[in-house]
Structure formats: structure tokens, C-alpha cells
Chain A
Amino acid sequence: QITLKESGPTLVKPTQTLTLTCTFSGFSLSTSGVGVGWIRQPPGKALEWLALIYWDDDKRYSPSLTSRLTITKDTSKNQVVLRMTGMDPVDTATYYCAHLIYGDRSFDYWGQGTLVTVSS
């Protein structure tokens, strides 16, 4: 059974760096084809794809946010970490991590999401 869960601060101040951790079980990020991505959703708005890391450490970022994002994995801990610098109130959103298999379903398993509010 695949599960994912996001963790991190619920409140960050403008200009601070956000660090979110996705802890998963039921799969290994060292298995060929496996990836974990981050997606966010501002309140009442649409989903926005942020970043993705694959089993081979290939990393992909949203072009509009690439200068602010870093995604890393710790295969031994079954974790993926997303860092976002220069937080702004417009970054207030629910942040999700999700599992995918390259060339298959896209995001087939999602975490419950974590709401991050950016406010001074």
C-alpha cells in the first residue's frame, strides 16, 4: 500500500525559506521509473505543478519557479524534500506530494496535503 505524507511549517514569514518533507511508504525511490512530485494549490484556485524527482536523481522544476526551488531525495529514509526560497504571501497554498511511474499514470497516489500560510 502506497502512502505519502507532507510535513513542515504551517506558517512562514515573507522572505523566509520553506522546507517541506514528503515521507512515503509502499515503494522505493530507487526503483526504476519511480518519481515523486510536488504540486500546490492556493486557496480556491487550481493545481500548480512545482517539481519532480526521479529514481535516477533526474530533477525537473517549474520554469516560473526554478530559481527558488530545490528538490532532493533521501532513499534510505524514504523522503523527498522541497525547498522554496523567498516566500511571499502569494505562495500561500496547500502543498501536496505525489507518486508517479514514468510513462504510466502520472500522479496516482497523493499525500493529504499541508497548508502553508505566508504572513508576517
Chain B
Amino acid sequence: DIQMTQSPSTLSASVGDRVTITCRASQSISSWLSSTWLAWYQQKPGKAPKILIYKASTLESGVPSRFSGSGSGTEFTLTISSLQPDDFATYYCQQYHSDPYTFGQGTKLEIK
């Protein structure tokens, strides 16, 4: 299995802050086709996850442009350029390079 490790587990920040969450894969999840099979999700309490970014850096339709993703191989980041009140939630990365399509352990973004 490919292990996905997120850091930090918890992040305290204020509205307007720029924040970055890191996700590391235990092996490369980029393919020879130059695609990188990594997704980022946002989950709020009692709700299903919502996809934000796929293929490491492609923003899902309707997701605000303050969200961005980058990385390749084994190292990835999710950046929120200016935190809004609606962004306080838990974020998960997921690789879909090979099954099982494993998730990271999550990063809880809290209000400072």
C-alpha cells in the first residue's frame, strides 16, 4: 500500500492568513504520462468530503481560487492564500495512483 502522511495534524490560523498543508506519499504517485494522481478534500463536521483539487494541482469547478495545490512524485502541498471563515475544516489528501486509494490522516484547520 502507498502510505500518505499529512502534516501538521492540527493547524491554528486566523482569517486572512496564508496556510500550507503538506502531504507525503511513501512512493511516487506520478506516472509516465506526466499525471499525478493526488486529490485534496475538505470535510466539515457531519458532512461528506468535498473534492477541492485533483491531479495534484487542478482546481475542481466551483472551488474558490484561493485554494491551490502543487507537487509531484512524493511531496505535495495544499495552500489557502487568504483564509476565510468557511475554510475552517479538516483537509485530507488521497492518492489514486494505485489501489488501495489511500487517504492521509487529515489536517484539522482551527481558528486561532
Contact = CB atoms under 8 A, between A and B. Distances in A.
A77 interface: no
A48 B103 contact: yes
Interface string B80-98: 0000000000001010100
B103 A107 contact: no
A52 interface: yes
A94 B2 CA distance: 23
Interface stretch (A8-16, A23-31, A78-86, A109-117): A109-117
Interface in A86-120: 96, 98, 100, 103-108, 110-113
Nearest to B33: A103
B60 A52 contact: no
What is the predominant secondary structure among interface residues of chain B facing chain A? loop
A46 B39 contact: no
B96 A46 contact: no
Interface residues of B, number: 24
Given A46-B104, A105-B60, A52 B92 contact: no
Q: Do most interface residues of chain A lie in helix, strand or loop, or is the interface mixed?
A: strand
Contact size range, A: 20 to 34
Given A47-B92, A96-B48, A108-B60, A37 B103 contact: no
Given A47-B92, A63-B1, A105-B54, A52 B99 contact: yes
A93 to B, nearest CB: 13
28 contacts: A37-B101, A39-B103, A46-B103, A47-B41, A47-B43, A47-B49, A47-B94, A47-B103, A49-B94, A49-B103, A60-B100, A63-B1, A100-B96, A103-B35, A105-B39, A105-B55, A105-B60, A106-B37, A106-B51, A106-B54, A106-B94, A106-B96, A106-B101, A107-B49, A107-B51, A108-B51, A110-B49, A113-B48
Interface of B: 1, 35, 37, 39, 41, 43, 48-51, 54-55, 60, 92, 94, 96, 99-106
